[in-house]
Amino acid sequence: MSAHRSGVVALLGLPNAGKSTLLNRWVGERLAIVTPKPQTTRSRILGILSQPGAQALLLDTPGLVRGGRGPLDEPMRKAVAAAAQDADVALLLVDLGRGWREAHAELVELVGTTPLVAVGTQLDRNRDAPWPPPELAGRPNFRISARTGEGCDALLADVLARLPEGPPFYPEDQLTDRPLRFLAAELVRESAFRGLGDELPYGVAVEVLEYDESRAGLVRIRANLIVARESHKGMVVGAGGSKIKEIGTRARQAIEELVGEKVHLELWVKVEPGWMKQRKRREALGYV
C-alpha cells in the first residue's frame, strides 16, 4: 500500500498566465477570481486538493511584474517570493503565446532548489508555439489548457507524485483556508474589474461589512467598493446607479454559485484616498 503524499505547490508566472484558472479547475470551485486584466490576484490564495492518497496545497500567487513601483507591487512581490521558497513543488506557468520573458528567469531564481516543473499554458490558442524554451531545457515540462482541461490531468498526476510523503494537512472536504466573506469580497472585485474601464480597477478594493448567515437559505452581505479618488466614485456608480447595479448583479450570481444559497447583496461606494499606501489598511482588506 503506497504512502500518503502531501505538500505545497506554488503556481508562479507573469500576469494572466493562467494560474488562477488552473487552481479553480483542479479544486473544482471558483476560489480565485479571473479577469483579463493584469494583476487581478493581489494576495496568495490557497486551494486544497484532496485525492485518495494525496493532498496538494495549491498556492495561487500574484503575477510577477518586473520593476513595478505601485504601492501594491511590493507586498505582491513578497507573496510570490514566499510561495516560491516555501513550496515542495513549484510550477512555472508560461503563456505559450507570449513566450519566455526576462521576468521568468527571475522567478526561476526565486524558486532556488525547489523542484520546478515548466508548464506552457493556453495550449488551445497556441498549439504550434515552440515549447519548451531553451531556458527551461532539461526541466520536466507540460503543455496545458486550463480553460479546456487539456493536459491538466497528466500534469496533476506528475505533481502529486513529486510531493513528499506525509499525512494530509486539512480535512478532505475543506477547499481553502480563506473565509467565505473574503471569497465574497473577491467575487465582487472580479465583477468590478470586468465591468469598469481599464484605468480604474487597479485602485478598487472591496470591504465586506456584514456577512450574515443567520437566516436559513439566505446570505445577507453588505460591502463597500473602495476607490482611491472622488472622481472614480461616479464611474463606479454609473448613470442612475446603472453600473453598480450591473456589478452587484454579476457578483451576487457568482456568490450564490459559490455558497449554494440565495444571496442578498448591498453595495456602496466609499472614497479612501491613499488606501493602497497604508500597510495596515491593505492587511485589513486581505492583501498581505
pLDDT in tens, 34-91: 877 766 766 778 999 999 999 999 999 888 776 566 666 677 778 888 888 889 999 9
Band (pLDDT 50/70/90 cuts) for residue 201 is: low
Q: Which three cell numbers stand for residue 113?
A: 532548489
Task: Tell me if 174 sits within 8 A of 28, measured CB to CB.
Answer: no
Question: In the structure grid, which three cell numbers stand for residue 85, read together?
Answer: 521558497
Q: Is residue 241 within 8 Å of residue 286, measured between CB atoms?
A: no
Angstrom distance (rounded) from CA 89 to CA 115 = 5
Where exactly does CATH 3.30.300.20 map onto the chain? 180-284
Strands 5-13 and 89-95: parallel
Q: Does the pLDDT of residue 202 top 80, yes or no? A: no
Taken as a whole, the chain contains a residue count of 288
pLDDT tens figures, 113-152: 999 999 999 999 999 999 999 999 999 999 999 999 999 9
Specify whether the CB–CB gap between 158 and 170 falls below 8 A. Answer: no
Homologous superfamily of 180-284 in CATH?
K homology (KH) domain (3.30.300.20)
How many Å apart are CA 68 and CA 62, to the nearest integer?
12
Q: Provide the pLDDT for residue 173.
A: 92
Strands 116-121, 141-143: pairing is parallel
Which CATH code for domain 5-162? Answer: 3.40.50.300
Please answer whether residues 226 and 275 qualify as being in contact, where contact means their C-beta atoms are separated by less than 8 angstroms.
yes
Rounded Cα distance between 72 and 287, Å, is 8
Q: How confident is the model at residue 288 (pLDDT cuts 50, 70, 90)?
A: low
Domain boundaries for CATH 3.40.50.300 within the chain: 5-162
Average pLDDT of the residues of the chain: 90
